[in-house]
Amino acid sequence: MILAIQASTSDRVMPPTHRHCYDYPHPAVTTDVVLFTIRQDALSVLLIQRGNPPCQGMWALPGGFLNIDEDLETCAKRELLEETGVEGVYLEQLYTFGDPKRDPRERVISVTFYALSQSDLLTPKASSDAALTAWFAINQLPELAFDHADIVQLARQRLVSKLGYTTIAFQMLPKSFTLSQLQSVYEILLNESLDKRNFRKGILARNIIKETGEYSRIGNHRPAKTYRVINPSQVEIIK
Amino acid sequence: MILAIQASTSDRVMPPTHRHCYDYPHPAVTTDVVLFTIRQDALSVLLIQRGNPPCQGMWALPGGFLNIDEDLETCAKRELLEETGVEGVYLEQLYTFGDPKRDPRERVISVTFYALSQSDLLTPKASSDAALTAWFAINQLPELAFDHADIVQLARQRLVSKLGYTTIAFQMLPKSFTLSQLQSVYEILLNESLDKRNFRKGILARNIIKETGEYSRIGNHRPAKTYRVINPSQVEIIK
DNA sequence: TCAAAAGTGTTGCTCCTACACCCATGC
DNA sequence: GCATGGGTGTAGGAGCAACACTTTTGA
């Protein structure tokens, strides 16, 4: 992955010495990322506390301005890494928000993404930035900066609706997992409990996972078979 | 609908006298629209022949630069009206294309939309613009400018996949329509023939349309009952 | 009377749902 | 031996797919 070297907060604090001029006014373009994970049996989102105005002190999504020669997805990944230390997660474009008044500084178009992480990978960095990063359960979000609450809500809807017809859920689990863990991901995202036998039958009938041969031996109970995705490289549309 | 008054081609031909400057380089932002309709039993797309470089003479999607105080959707509707004379169609954001090299002039981010029109409304204007506009069957597209072929392909995928779980198909029909017309829309989009009895049962069971009481009396055959959507104002997610 | 599209039911099969008990382990 | 989660099968119902003939009209 190629990363541009640049100050890493989402705000630009050190204006360069020359200016960039155009015949017509141009909006600024940013990317923002809704990074989901499951922590303590709750769907959670990673947020950053803003260190600069506007909305100073409020919580916001990780994101920032697009470099002029940088792909949109690259920008989203770079900002996520710089601001939170997270990388290697599944990431997908969500929607583009462009209300003329969404940012008080200037016209800002935000191309938003959502990303999914295993609880594993999560070392939201106590990083170089002074910026505070923290996980919040989706039902206990603080007030968010700009229109970020709308973005989170849309991302959640998209994630949940993709559960039904893609293999996206596996992106929230480690490579090898038990069926109970998988069921738990579905239950938390759908916010309803599922029948264990039917869930297992349904998943196995789709032929998208197979046994690893290994067992998970944690807790005072029978070890669980572990599984892995047959085609691990992508989120596929199934059935 | 509020429309900005501005030269109406997608290229900016008359630079203004003053310049717009920023501390950091800003990309240009455009919207592009894939307008679908069904003509002569084929899914078709409205294209414009470019009058200026780059890609002069090639066919392209209607679209153009975002005004600095204009909403993204408003921009898409405005460009569609200006370039093609089409208005009042169903329009929905599709995806944002931002490859750094997608436009040779400067960095251009394109927020794309797709739109659906009844064959009815179609007076693709022999307009003020010199620009030629024409419908092309989706399987007989000419070579398209920029990355517009990718955009059309993605729009088609999205449209087809939304057929199954929304009422989007009705946007391609007049207010009142026969079940055969509706079935024809599904068959053309899905590119497969459907069983008449099963189709009718399925549609009626969803309780989204009702009889108007009127009959369509065209052709040498039994008149057909006409129907209309119960909730005409929106595309809903069903079942 | 003919051509052309409208309209209409039943049957079998598949898939989904509901439901309860034994198993293997650590303490 | 007990607490904890892992693992398994069946029966009934709902919804989908396959299938052909009669009706109404205009020419």
CA distance A108 to A110: 6
For residue B110, the surrounding DSSP H or E stretch is strand B108-116
The confidence score (pLDDT) of residue B234 equals 83
Residue A125's pLDDT band (boundaries 50, 70, 90)?
Answer: low
Nucleotide of closest approach to A227 (CA, C1'): D6
Residue A178's pLDDT band (boundaries 50, 70, 90)?
Answer: very high
Q: Name the closest residue on chain B to residue A15, using Cα atoms.
A: B23
Which stretch of A109-123, A196-210, B3-17 has the lowest confidence by average pLDDT?
B3-17
Nearest residue to A35 via CA among A95, A110, A116: A116
User: Looking at the DSSP assignment, which residues form a beta bridge with residue A38?
Assistant: A43
Query: Chain C bases under 7 Å from protein CB?
Result: 3-10, 16-20, 23-27
Residue A16's pLDDT band (boundaries 50, 70, 90)?
Answer: low
Sign of CA dihedral B130, B5, B99, A23: positive
Over residues A46-53, the mean pLDDT reads: 93
* Contacting residues of B for A22, CB less than 8 Å apart: 19-22, 26, 28
pLDDT tens digits, A137-177: 999 999 999 999 999 999 999 999 999 999 999 999 999 99
Question: At B78, phi and psi to the nearest 5?
Answer: -65, -45
Task: Look over chain A and give the mean of its residue pLDDT values, rounded to a whole number.
Answer: 89
Q: Enter the pTM of the model.
A: 0.90
| Residues facing strand C, Cβ within 7 A | A 195-198, 201-202, 205, 217, 219-223; B 178-180, 196-198, 200-201, 219-225
Q: Name the closest residue on chain B to residue A112, using Cα atoms.
A: B96
pLDDT tens digits, A80-115: 999 999 999 999 999 999 999 999 999 999 999 999
CB–CB contact A68 B109 (8 Å) = no
Nearest residue to nucleotide C3, by CA–C1' distance, is: B220
Domains of chain A, with CATH numbers?
28-163 (3.90.79.10), 168-229 (1.10.10.10)
How does DSSP classify residue A166?
B
The confidence score (pLDDT) of residue B14 equals 52
What is the separation, in whole angstroms, between the first and last Cα of chain B? 33
Q: Name the closest residue on chain B to residue A94, using Cα atoms.
A: B95
Q: Give the CA-to-C1' distance from B178 to D21 in angstroms.
A: 22
Over residues A50-55, the mean pLDDT reads: 91
Q: Supply A116's token pair.
A: 């999914």
Residue A239's pLDDT band (boundaries 50, 70, 90)?
Answer: confident
Q: Given A23, A66, A71, which is nearest B99 (Cβ)? A: A71
Neighbours of A15 (CB within 10 A): 10
Q: Given B19, B23, B111, which is nearest A96 (Cβ)? A: B111
Nearest residue to A215 via CA among A205, A229, A225: A225
The confidence score (pLDDT) of residue B15 equals 53
Nearest residue to A1 via CA among A79, A55, A61: A79
Largest separation between any pair of C-alpha atoms in chain A? 70
Whether A130 shows a pLDDT value over 50: the answer reads no
CB–CB contact B100 A28 (8 Å) = no
Q: Given A19, A29, A107, which is nearest B21 (Cβ)? A: A19
Q: How many residues does chain B have?
A: 239
User: Looking at the DSSP assignment, which residues form a beta bridge with residue A224?
Assistant: A216
The confidence score (pLDDT) of residue A119 equals 72
Tell me the pairing of strands A28-39 and A108-116: parallel
Residues 6+ apart with CB under 8 A from A170: A177, A182, A209, A229, A232, A235
* Contacting residues of A for B27, CB less than 8 Å apart: 26, 29, 66, 68
The confidence score (pLDDT) of residue A234 equals 83
Give A226→chain B minimum CA distance, Å: 33
Whether A54 shows a pLDDT value over 60: the answer reads yes
CA distance B207 to B192: 24
The confidence score (pLDDT) of residue A60 equals 98
Sign of CA dihedral A131, A133, A138, A141: negative
The confidence score (pLDDT) of residue A37 equals 96
Decide: A72 and B108 in contact? Cβ < 8 Å: no
Per-residue pLDDT tens, chain B, 239 aa: give them. Answer: 333 333 344 455 455 556 899 999 999 999 999 999 999 899 999 999 999 889 999 999 999 999 999 999 999 999 999 999 999 999 999 999 999 999 999 999 999 999 999 875 444 554 444 468 999 999 999 999 999 999 999 999 999 999 999 999 999 999 999 999 999 999 999 999 999 999 999 999 999 999 999 999 999 999 999 999 999 888 988 87
Tell me the pairing of strands B28-39 and B108-116: parallel
